[in-house]
Amino acid sequence: MKFILIGIQGAGKSTQGNLLRDKLQIPYLSTGHIFREMSKEKTPEGRYIKETINAGYLIPDGKTLEIVTNYLHKPYYKNGYILDGFPRTSKQAEEFENGVDKVIYLRVSDKEALWRLSGRDDNRDDDTLKAIRRRIEIFHEITEPVLDFYRKKGLLLEIDGEQSIEDIHKEILSKIK
């Protein structure tokens, strides 16, 4: 099965993605994680990625599509995957060639997400308040149309992401059946 997790930063995508991976034994892949690893490289590309993610902007679609497509061609992902953080733009959604079975949208309010992120003690380098606010803005402007794209295809599952971690996990499992 091929799943996509969508939600604003702080919605719980990686928590739920990891729970789902353990439960279903399907590999989990986060584009944010891939880009953060690439940002450590001491090359012009690494520096560019670092500046872009630290400022809260998106990596251009062409680069993102190329990287995700290369990853998903690996045999490890042949039988399915849980993809966290991609697609984030309409262009990425339209040009993504791999099939998708279900898109799980973890819905939380901006206020709840900001509250959760402010209390997180594993804050990353790219987690300044300015960058977080920009990511939330970009989600509403640029990623929300992706929700409509999948809604129209009948693939979108909307989950109330403000429940407990365990209740969200159970709801996801019952809805993907």
Residues that bind ligand AMP (CB under 6 A): 9, 31-32, 35, 52-53, 56-59, 64, 85-88, 92, 135
- From residue 134, alpha-carbon distances to 35, 52, 78, 85 in Å are 18, 12, 34, 16
Shortest Å distance, C-beta 30 to ligand AMP: 6
Cα angle 57-46-11, degrees, rounded to a multiple of 5? 40
Report the residue number whose CB is nearest to ligand AMP: 32
What is the rounded distance in angstroms from the CA atom of residue 67 to the CA atom of residue 11?
24
Shortest Å distance, C-beta 64 to ligand AMP: 4
Strands 28-30 and 2-6: unpaired
Strands 102-107 and 28-30: unpaired
Which backbone phi and psi does 8 adopt, to 5 degrees? -70, 165
Shortest Å distance, C-beta 174 to ligand AMP: 25
Shortest Å distance, C-beta 131 to ligand AMP: 7
Give every strand in the sheet of 102-107, ordered side by side: 28-30, 81-84, 2-6, 102-107, 156-160
Is residue 91 within 8 A of residue 121, CB to CB? The reply is no
**Residue written as token pair 């079975």:** 101
Please list the residues that pair with 159 across neighbouring strands.
106
